[in-house]
Amino acid sequence: MNQLEVLRESLGQCDEIILDALLMRNRIVEDIMVYKEANDLPVLQPEQEAKQKGWLEARMEGRRHKKEVNDVFASITQNSKRIQSRNLFNYNIFLIGFMGAGKSTISDYLKNVLAMCIVERQGMSISDIFETYGEEYFRELETNLLIEMQSRSNVVVSCGGGVPMRERNVTEMKKNGRVVLLTAKPETILERVKDNHDRPLLENNKNVSFIADLLEKRRAKYEAAADIVVETDGKSELEICEELIHRLREAEANK
């Protein structure tokens, strides 16, 4: 056996060690999920990820291949999050609620802490679609997207404020998902959207009275569509997501 073959054999042995370690690590991730659920502990613990990053930074200080090792560990962490999210949700999550209730913020947070896929559409802004093609065209796009999501799972969909107003949309969402209604007070909504100009229905009506009136008109449809309701006023993204996860798991357990 020449030196190259010896080196390749050593490399193969390293791969075997890495593979066994990864399989063991993934099993431990699942065991941690079971322990958290059994002991009613928070699922999301971003401080643990920060602790791991600090440990890795210290271990790799002054070492060769620091970037490459960091990339590998980033991928390991991301895949651990995916294992957690698949264990939590074998269905899609549809976030509904009035504009400014926190749907985009919470979908982004779930993408970060649980590596869940979120639905994004590139191209024209909502206001441009409204102006060019009209509201009905936009509503059809929304419905078609909900139908498309039925072939997928473990996806977070941040729905437009008008989505639950169509009964067909609610039917499509329920086929492969759970509907989470995020709520906020009119004052909170105004504060969140006051500097946003991609909200056609609010562009010339940014005041508490108009928002409160429109909220009341939609309330019954929103609540009828929702599997759970989560208030977002005065809560952090972490608090909202923990409540969302807890309430969804509770709802599934009571089915």
Task: For residue range 79-96, list pLDDT tens digits in order.
Answer: 999 999 999 999 999 999
Lowest mean pLDDT among 16-25, 63-72, 116-125, 185-194: 116-125
CB-CB contact of 155 with 116 (8 Å): yes
**Sheet strands (E) in the chain:** 92-96, 117-118, 155-158, 177-183, 228-231
> What pTM was estimated for this model as a whole?
0.85
Give the residue from 222, 240, 196, 248 showing the smallest Cα distance to 107. 240
pLDDT of residue 124: 43
pLDDT of 205 above 80: no
Identify the band that residue 145 occupies on the pLDDT scale cut at 50, 70 and 90: confident
Question: pLDDT exceeding 70 applies to what percent of the chain?
Answer: 88
- Mean of the per-residue pLDDT values of the chain: 88
pLDDT of 211 above 60: yes
Half-sphere exposure of 109 (CA within 13 A, CB side): 18
